[in-house]
Amino acid sequence: MSTERGKGTVAIVGGAGAVGSSTAFALMESSLVGEIVLVDVAKERVEGEAMDLNHGSYFTSPVRVRTGDYEDCWDADVVIVTAGASQKPDETRLDLMERNADIFADMIPQITEGLNDDAVMLIVTNPVDVLSYVTWKVSDLPAERVIGSGTVLDTSRFRHSLSREFDLDPANVHAYVVGEHGDSEVLVWSSANLGGIPFESYATSHGVDDVDALKAGVETEVREAAYEIIDRKERTNYGVARSVAATTERILGGDNSILTVSTLVSGEHDIDGVYMSLPCTVNETGVRDVHEFDLSADETAALRESADVIRESIERLDLE
């Protein structure tokens, strides 16, 4: 059985894990995906995941789910990597770095050895900015075709928090999180708006007496969201799966959508040589454009500090 004409093939490396299988489940609803290949070292479990997913295919857009090995990634349009050690309670994303960097140094060359010239690698494993950089370095792929899931989920959390605070449809909330997908991420308040109205104006006109306190509470909620979830259920999977599926659809659809994916930054905001999240135009080539937009002085300083956090982590790996 071949992939339906006009639909893409997506390979998920780490497909037996909670994030990988949840991403496959989310992608089954997409009219742009015709085949999903699940790759995992846990052979029996990944076979079970494929069987379970296929049994629900009657209720979705036509899609085939099968298992495979690294070479089955070579013909994929998008290769999503969720494999690696998972984050433990009280462990930061950067604490995972050395364990997962070793895994990637062995795994990524096997995936990219025969990868087709148009495929896009989408890295999800944490710390995602560091591992996206590792993937770019060990794969010899162009930087625009190696992207990280970045702060797409953090941006969604930011918008969700504001929409809940003001009882609005999240589609009417426009705000970004940039920088590291982690503790040093930067919530961009200076350009945040609700229905086109600047955040502070909207907040004060809707009865918020202490705007700074509201901002501090939202920042804490967004930054600590993953830790709160992990404390309660040991992992995060549904939110990240939805954000990764949405990013994959933008790639397959060639939509030229702006998403805060992690990409190689080359001079924007006077930052160079690290992977981090900025608003990027995403399409079938991966990242088409990286957008440098206006930030306040405090936000600019925080973004550069976030870049330094990532840079120091990359330097500790001694990849050269």
Task: Give me the residues paired with residue 178 across strands.
Answer: 186
Pairing of strands 78-81, 120-123: parallel
Amino acid letter, 107? M
- Please say if 291 is a catalytic residue: no
Binding site annotation covers 212?
no
Residues 6+ apart with CB under 8 A from 194: 162, 166, 168, 172, 173, 174, 202
Q: In this structure, what are the phi and psi dihedrals at residue 262, rounded to the nearest 5 degrees?
A: -85, 130
Binding site annotation covers 18?
yes
Q: Is 242 exposed, middle or buried (0-12, 13-18, 19+ CB in 10 A)?
A: middle
Binding site annotation covers 40?
yes
Q: State how far the Cα of 305 lies from the Cα of 29, in Å rounded to an integer.
A: 39
Question: Which of 55, 160, 174, 181 is labelled catalytic?
Answer: 181
Binding site annotation covers 196?
no
Residue ranges for the binding site for NAD(+)? 14-20, 40, 100, 124-126
Catalytic center residues: 181
Residue ranges for the binding site? 14-20, 40, 100, 124-126
